[in-house]
């Protein structure tokens, strides 16, 4: 239970000195706009001692910026973000997963689209460090979630120079640029957890990394019919505003209530995946109405067939050429369970994908394993 805020009960500190240090970090452009935790060498050593890596090991490189993130730099930014040292193995695994994801290295974090890194954590580590997997998963209130996600953002800023109005050219951005880290509610899921879909054991602790654009909430408290609920999800996945490339991808974050609707009806995760894939379509006329019925020859982004740079897309439903699939394959839909069981509220996380998509579009790393 929280206590009434009373700063007079806090340990005595030299508040003026603390503010001086915080202003120094701010003047150096080492923050995300919020205060950071000052870092000393002795405190940094506590972070480095939690991982089987040398401090000089490189975790991630962005070649066109000619900049690399080492374990030491990752630790500095994790400490500044407010992480406890025991969170650091998760941060390292997150960077290792990000290194497998091709978009950041190609500049997507600098894009006008305003993408952000998004982390999903599975396995025993969730309880060990207090990661939230239940109520308010996309909100505030949990140190591990907030600071692990923030450690990645501060690394983007301080190592790769991705400050807004500079190398980060996001037109509007997303709140996920501050922090985006959730854990799966494995205990209330009727299915095997997300990381087992990638071949890990349920007892493994794993971070999965995505590049995302938005999180769209699904209000569906009105039905216990799995087909109705699945159509609601498919309609959100196929919205035309999400169609940048020929295909899109999505992570379905189902509340336990919604997952139980499917499981009670005998649906597996793959049943839901196949259903959404089959129903995530648009007609040619609908795409034409919004000027997205063709592809650019140069960028392969969607545009009007009337544009001089246009070329036909190859996406179509196999049984009806007038329908266009917005997903390249059923695996373009990933499914997990998170949130409280107090209402029928789920989410579709819009995942940025390659065009054309690669065989395995997801990036993950086992926590505590040396890369």
Predicted pLDDT of residue 1: 47
Q: How far apart are CA 23 and CA 20, in angstroms?
A: 5
Q: Find out whether 216 and 347 touch, Cβ atoms under 8 Å.
A: yes
Q: State the pLDDT confidence band at 315, using cuts at 50, 70 and 90.
A: confident
Q: How far apart are CA 111 and CA 91, in angstroms?
A: 23
The percent of residues in the chain predicted with pLDDT above 70, rounded, is: 94
Q: At what angle do helices 71-81 and 143-158 cross, to 10 degrees?
A: 130
Domains in the chain, number: 1
The percent of residues in the chain predicted with pLDDT above 90, rounded, is: 81
314 located within any domain: no
4 located within any domain: no
Residue 234 β-bridge partners? none
**Does pLDDT of 318 surpass 90?**
no
205 located within any domain: yes
Domain that holds residue 25: 14-280+326-366
- For residue range 26-82, list pLDDT tens digits in order: 999 999 999 999 999 999 999 999 999 999 999 999 999 999 999 999 999 999 999
239 located within any domain: yes
Half-sphere exposure of 181 (CA within 13 A, CB side): 30
77 located within any domain: yes
pTM of the model: 0.94
Angle at 315 (CA atoms; ends 312, 316), nearest 5 degrees: 110
Q: The tokens 């065009």 sit on which residue? A: 355
Q: Find out whether 212 and 334 touch, Cβ atoms under 8 Å.
A: no
Q: Find out whether 26 and 19 touch, Cβ atoms under 8 Å.
A: no
154 located within any domain: yes
Predicted pLDDT of residue 107: 83
Q: At what angle do helices 88-100 and 71-81 cross, to 10 degrees?
A: 120
Give which of 32, 61, 21 is closest to 158, Cα–Cα.
32
**Distance from the first to the final alpha carbon of the chain:** 40
**Does pLDDT of 135 surpass 80?**
yes
285 located within any domain: no
64 located within any domain: yes
């Amino acid at each position: 239970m929280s206590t009434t805020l009373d700063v007079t009960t806090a340990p005595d500190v030299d508040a003026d000195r603390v503010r001086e240090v915080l202003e120094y970090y701010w003047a150096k452009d080492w923050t995300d706009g919020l205060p950071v935790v000052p870092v000393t060498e002795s405190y940094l050593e506590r972070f480095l001692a939690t991982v089987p890596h040398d401090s000089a090991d490189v975790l991630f490189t962005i070649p066109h910026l000619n900049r690399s993130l080492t374990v030491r730099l990752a630790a500095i930014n994790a400490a500044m973000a407010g992480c406890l040292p025991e969170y650091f193995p998760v941060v390292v695994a997150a960077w290792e997963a990000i290194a497998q994801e091709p978009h950041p290295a190609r500049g997507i974090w600098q894009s006008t689209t305003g993408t952000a890194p998004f982390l999903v954590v599975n396995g025993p580590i969730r309880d060990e460090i207090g990661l939230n997997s239940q109520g308010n998963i996309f909100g505030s209130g949990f140190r591990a979630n907030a600071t692990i996600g923030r450690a990645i953002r501060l690394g983007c800023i301080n190592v790769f120079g991705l400050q807004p109005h500079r190398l980060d050219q996001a037109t509007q951005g997303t709140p996920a640029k501050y922090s985006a880290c959730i854990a799966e509610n494995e205990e209330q899921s009727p299915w095997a957890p997300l990381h087992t879909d990638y071949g890990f054991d349920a007892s493994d602790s794993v971070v999965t990394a995505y590049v995302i654009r938005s999180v769209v909430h699904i209000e569906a408290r009105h039905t216990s019919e799995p087909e109705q609920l699945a159509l609601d999800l498919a309609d959100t996945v196929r919205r035309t505003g999400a169609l940048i490339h020929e295909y899109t991808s999505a992570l379905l974050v189902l509340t336990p209530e919604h997952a139980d609707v499917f499981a009670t009806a005998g649906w597996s995760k793959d049943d839901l995946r196949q259903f959404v894939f089959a129903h995530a379509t648009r007609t040619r006329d609908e795409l034409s109405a919004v000027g997205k019925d063709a592809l650019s020859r140069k960028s392969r982004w969607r545009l009007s067939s009337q544009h001089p740079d246009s070329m036909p897309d190859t996406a179509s439903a196999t049984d009806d050429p007038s329908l266009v699939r917005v997903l390249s394959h059923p695996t373009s839909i990933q499914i997990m369970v998170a949130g409280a069981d107090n209402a029928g509220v789920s989410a579709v996380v819009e995942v940025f994908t390659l065009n054309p998509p690669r065989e395995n579009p997801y990036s993950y790393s086992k926590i505590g394993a040396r890369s």
